[in-house]
Structure 1
Amino acid sequence: MIDRILSIQALSDAAQARFPEGNFGHEEYRPALERLLRAYHEEAQLTPVGLRATSARLITALKHRRQLVAHGEKYPESAGIEIESPIFILGFPRSGTTLLHNLFASDTANRPIRLWEMHYPYAEDEEDIVKAMEETRALADEAYRVAPGLADIYPGLKAEWPGECSWLFRNCFSTLDYGFNHFIPGYVQWLLFRDMTEDYRYFHKQLQAILSLRPGGPLVLKDPLHLWHLPELLKTFPDARVIHLHRDPREMVPSGISLFRTAPVGEATIRSVPEIVDYYLNILTVGLERMLVSRARLPREHFIDLGYRELVANPEAAMEKLYAELGMDFSPRSRAGVRQWLSEGSKHTGKHHYQLADFGLTAWDVEQRFFAYRERFANYLNEIQEK
C-alpha cells in the first residue's frame, strides 16, 4: 500500500487535482522528494495513521508549489520585493527560540510569519484567512490528539503564533524537520551533505509571495535548523541579523530527545531508547561542528548571542537589550506587547519533565560531545546542577 500512496506520481496527481492552476516549478525539488520517499519506504515504519498523515503533508507541499507558480503569474511584481535586514532567531532545538520568537511577534511593529500563513500562504481575502486559521487550529488539534503529551512538551502549534521556517522548507522537501519527526537516518545523512543554496532561494521566493499579500517589517523569522546551514542563510540574506540562543547541553539534549520520542507517536513504530539517542545526538553533532566552523568564518557583525537563562530570568530586559543591539526602538508599544504576552504565561508553557538518566545518558556523555561548544560560548552557558 505504501508504494501506491507514497509515489511521486500519486502525490503529484493528488496535488494537481486539488489545485489545477500553475505547475510544480523547476525540477530541483525532485531529488529531495525521491530521497525522502525512499526513507519513508525503507526506514520510517509508518503506521496506517502515519501513512495517511505523511501523504497529506506531501500533497499539501506539492500543492503549495503549484500555488506559488500561479501566484507569480498573477502578481509578477512579488519577485521584486526586497527583504531588508531580516532577523533570524536560531539555536539548538529546545534552547528558547520559540519563546523569543513570540516575544518579538508580540510587538505589532514587527512582521513574523504566523503558523496559519505557513499552512495557507496564499490566502488573500478575509474569508480565506478565517478559514485558514480554523483549519490550522484543526491540524494542531489533530497532532496533539494523535501524540498525547506533545502539547506539554511543545505547546507552540497555535495558528496565531509565529511559525518555524521549516514549514516553508517542507515545500522543497529538504529540511531536517522531516528527520526530527520520523526516524529516517538515510534521508538525514543525504540532506546533511546537500548544498542548500537553491532551497534557500526557494524559501526567499516564498517569503516574497507572502509579503506581497501581507506586507510588513522588519521580518522576524525563527528556526533552529538554520544552525546547520548558516553560510547558505547569509548568502541568501546578506544583511540578515542572527540572534543565536545558547542553552546548557545538559538541559537542551534530554529535552530534545524527549520531544523526538513523542512527536511520531501514533504515526510510526517507536524505536528503542538507544536508537533514538544515537540518531538524535548524531544530528546535533553535525550541526555543532558546522556551526562552530561557520561562526569562526562568517562576519561577527551578523550575530548577537544570548543565553537561555538570561532570557528566561528577565525576558523584558533581554528584549530591551536585543532591540538596542539591533538598532531598533523598544517603544512603549513594544514593552506593552511583551508584558501582555508574558502575563498569559500559563497558556504558553507546557509541563515538560525529563532528565538525562531517562535516556541512559550522564552529564559526562553530553560534556564529551559538546566540549567545544561549551568552550566557545561559555559566557552564555550558566552552570546547572547535574541531573
Structure 2
Amino acid sequence: MHGDATLNTEMSLEPPTLETAMKVKDIIIEAEAITGLKANLPDDAINGLTQLVKSIVDEAPLSEQGLQSSKKMILNNLANRIRVDHYLEQHPELLQQAIETPTFVFGLPRTGTTLLINLLAEDPARRAFIRWESLNSVPPPKASEVRTDPRYFEAQALIEQSLKYVPHISAIHHENADSPTECQFSMSQTFCSQLFESMIDIPSYRKWFLSTDYLPAFKYHKRLLQLLQTHAPGQWTLKNPWHPLYLTALKEVFPDAQLIMTHRDPVEVVGSACSLIKHVRLLTHEHVDLEKIGSTTIDIFQRMIDNIINYKVKYGENSIYDIQYQDIIKNPTESIHNIYRHFNQPLTNEAKNAMKKYLTDNPKGKHGKHEYILEEFGLNEAYIRSIFSDYYDRFLL
C-alpha cells in the first residue's frame, strides 16, 4: 500500500539507527528536489532503501569517491522511481495494458546472456529494455526515437567517457546507451536488487536481499514495462543473469513468460564473474577482499542452481529452455533458430538479416580481452568442479 515518504521499518531485519533514518530521509528529500515531485513510495521500497543505506553506512569499505558515487547511484534510482510513479498516477490506463508472453533470458553470469539478448533484440517484433531508458524513463520514448532522443545522447556520452578511463570494464561487459540492459536496473528502483550487493561489499544488505520477498520488485518491473511500451510496443525480451534467485516471483507476475537459461562450465563462469566484481569494486573501495568475492560468488551461484532445479521439478523439465554457451558462440544463428522453433514463433528474414549484421559489426573481443586468475579469489578448478558436480551432470553436455 502506498503512503507518503515516511520511514517504515517494521519489515527490517534490524531497526535503523537514528543516523541511518536521517540519511534516508535526507536522500528522499534530495530526490524530491531533483525531480520537483513528492515521493509516494510504498513500504517495501522504503524498507529496501533503509536496508541499503544502513549497510553502506555501517559496513561498506568505500573511498570518499566511492561513497559519493554510491549516493549518486541511489539518487538516480530513487529519482526515476519517483518520476515513474508520478507518471503512472497521471496515466493509470497504462496499467491496464498487458505484457504478453515476455521472454526472459538468464543463466549464471558470464554464460552468453548478453550475446543472446542482443541477437534477439534485433528482431523488430521484439521490445528490449534499453540501457538509457532504464534510469530516464519519463516520458516514455517513441519507437522511432530510441537513438535520437536527447536522453540517448546524454547516456552515450557518459559511456564514451568511461571507455577512456576504465576501458577494462568494457572488455569484461560492454553496453551502449541503446543496448538491451538487465532487468536489475528496473529492480534497483525498488532497492531490492542484486546490483547493489555485487557493486558494494555490504554483508547485511546481502543477507536481507537473499531472504526477502522479491514480489514487489517484479510488480514494479511490470509497471515500468507498461509505461515504456506506451509508444514503443513489441514482445518484451528481457535479460538478467540473476533471475534464478527469484523465479517464483517472476512466475507470479508474468505467468506466461518464456524462459531461456544459458549454461557454461562453472570454472569459466566463476572466475569471470569474480573478476568483474573485483574490477567494479576497485573503482570505489578502499580495499577489496578477493577471497570474500570468491566465497560469496560460489554461495550465490549454488542458490541460483538450486532454485532452477526446484523450479523444473515444480513446473516441468521443459518449463525452462536450456541452451549451451558453446552453441551460442560457435553457431549463434542455429541457436536462434532453435529458440524460435521451441517457442513456435516465426523468424522473419528481416530479423535474420538484422541478427547477421549485428554479428558482423560486433565480433568477439571488440572491446578487448578479459583475463583473470581464478586462484586470486581463493579458488581452483578442482574445488569448483566438485562443488558444482550435480550441475555438470544435469546441465552440461
* Alpha-carbon offset, residue 301 of structure 1: 4.1
Question: Matched residue of 2:255: which SS?
Answer: coil
Which residue pairs with 2:292 in the alignment?
A: 275
Which residue pairs with 1:229 in the alignment?
A: 246
Of residues 26, 30, 34, the one that matches 1:10 is 26
Aligned pairs for 1:185-224 (under 5 A) are: 185-212=203-230, 214-224=231-241
Q: 1:364 & 1:167 partners in 2: Cα distance?
A: 35
Q: TM-score, normalised by structure 2?
A: 0.89
Aligned pairs for 1:1-387 (under 5 A) are: 7-124=23-140, 130-141=149-160, 143-144=162-163, 147=166, 149-156=168-175, 158-212=176-230, 214-346=231-363, 348-379=366-397
* Alpha-carbon offset, residue 134 of structure 1: 2.0
Question: Matched residue of 2:29: which SS?
Answer: helix
Identity of aligned residues (%): 25
Q: 2:303 & 2:244 partners in 1: Cα distance?
A: 10
**8 Å contact 2:263–2:323 — kept in the other structure?**
yes
Question: Matched residue of 2:242: which SS?
Answer: helix
Q: 2:210 & 2:265 partners in 1: Cα distance?
A: 24
Gaps of 5+ in 2: 1-18
My pick for the range that moved more, 240-249 or 285-294, is 285-294
Matched to 1:255, the amino acid is S
Q: 1:233 & 1:71 partners in 2: Cα distance?
A: 24
Question: Matched residue of 1:242: which SS?
Answer: strand
My pick for the range that moved more, 168-177 or 72-81, is 72-81
My pick for the range that moved more, 317-326 or 235-244, is 317-326
* Alpha-carbon offset, residue 125 of structure 1: 6.7
* Alpha-carbon offset, residue 147 of structure 1: 4.2
**8 Å contact 1:94–1:256 — kept in the other structure?**
yes
**8 Å contact 2:77–2:135 — kept in the other structure?**
no
Deviations 1:56-108 (A, max 9, x none): 11112221222122211321210101001000000001011011000011122
Q: 1:31 & 1:146 partners in 2: Cα distance?
A: 35
Which residue pairs with 2:16 in the alignment?
A: none
Q: 1:329 & 1:244 partners in 2: Cα distance?
A: 20
Structure 1 39/4 Cα, relative in aligned 2: closer, same or farther at 3 Å?
A: closer
Matched to 1:377, the amino acid is F
* Alpha-carbon offset, residue 144 of structure 1: 4.7
My pick for the range that moved more, 189-198 or 132-141, is 132-141
Q: 2:192 & 2:71 partners in 1: Cα distance?
A: 16
* Alpha-carbon offset, residue 244 of structure 1: 0.5
Structure 1 6/340 Cα, relative in aligned 2: closer, same or farther at 3 Å?
A: farther
Matched to 1:84, the amino acid is E
**8 Å contact 2:59–2:202 — kept in the other structure?**
yes
Structure 1 258/369 Cα, relative in aligned 2: closer, same or farther at 3 Å?
A: same
Q: 2:269 & 2:201 partners in 1: Cα distance?
A: 20
Deviations 1:331-372 (A, max 9, x none): 111110111000012485531112423434221110122112
Count of residue correspondences:
375
Structure 1 6/59 Cα, relative in aligned 2: closer, same or farther at 3 Å?
A: farther
Matched to 2:213, the amino acid is D
Q: 1:32 & 1:124 partners in 2: Cα distance?
A: 26
Gaps of 5+ in 1: 380-387
**8 Å contact 1:119–1:132 — kept in the other structure?**
no
* Alpha-carbon offset, residue 143 of structure 1: 4.7
Matched to 1:134, the amino acid is F
Structure 1 247/349 Cα, relative in aligned 2: closer, same or farther at 3 Å?
A: farther
**8 Å contact 1:44–1:183 — kept in the other structure?**
yes
Structure 1 300/288 Cα, relative in aligned 2: closer, same or farther at 3 Å?
A: closer
**8 Å contact 1:172–1:202 — kept in the other structure?**
yes
* Alpha-carbon offset, residue 21 of structure 1: 2.8
Question: Matched residue of 1:63: which SS?
Answer: helix
